[in-house]
């Protein structure tokens, strides 16, 4: 009986987490960074330890919509930050998107955060991807 309850509990948690993730997310094709913004390099790219600060910022500002793992919450229709279509974007593009937001799709602007904090968030987003895929992401893109 105890094994059965354990199995049911684990299955419930697994199904719940899969349903909460927004795997059906499709990014807004009109939400594109200008070329000069997209080509910006992350000034913290050679300081990966600063991603720890980005994790704190993520937990404070982003978890409500994107979830603890960055997979996006279906009920919020928020981006799954682990998807290749998000992770393949340049650091400059992600920084621009954090800065400007996309209010039509529910993404607020985080321009109130200092530049270096937004760059830390970009570094942290790359660690989400590397945890998911097992391979580190080059944050100098």
Q: What is the pLDDT of residue 51?
A: 96
- 37-63 exposure pattern, b = at least 16 Cβ within 10 A, e = fewer: bbeeebebbeeeebbebbeebbeebbe
- Residue with structure tokens 């299955």? 11
Q: What is the pLDDT of residue 141?
A: 41
User: Which residues of the chain are modeled with pLDDT < 70?
Assistant: 1-26, 129-141
Read off the pTM. 0.76
Q: Report CA-CA distances (Å) from 49 to 20, 46, 84.
A: 30, 9, 23
**DSSP summary character for residue 26:** -
Specify the pLDDT at position 28: 80
pLDDT, residue 52, reads 97
User: Do 23 and 82 form a contact (C-beta atoms < 8 A)?
Assistant: no
Q: What architecture is domain 2-133?
A: Orthogonal Bundle (1.10)
Domain boundaries, the chain: 2-133
pLDDT tens digits for 116-140?
999 999 999 999 965 555 444 444 4
């Amino acid at each position: 009986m105890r094994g059965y309850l354990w199995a049911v509990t684990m299955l419930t948690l697994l199904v719940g987490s899969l349903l909460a993730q927004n795997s059906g997310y499709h990014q807004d094709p009109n939400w594109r960074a200008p070329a000069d913004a997209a080509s910006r390099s992350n000034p913290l790219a050679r300081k990966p330890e600063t991603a720890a600060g980005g994790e704190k910022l993520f937990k404070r500002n982003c978890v409500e919509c994107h979830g603890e793992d960055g997979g996006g919450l279906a009920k919020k229709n928020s981006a799954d930050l682990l998807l290749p279509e998000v992770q393949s974007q340049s650091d400059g593009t992600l920084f621009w998107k954090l800065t400007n937001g996309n209010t039509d799709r529910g993404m607020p602007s985080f321009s109130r955060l200092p530049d270096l904090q937004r760059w830390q968030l970009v570094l942290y987003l790359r660690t989400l991807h590397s945890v998911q895929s097992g391979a580190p992401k080059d944050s100098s893109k």
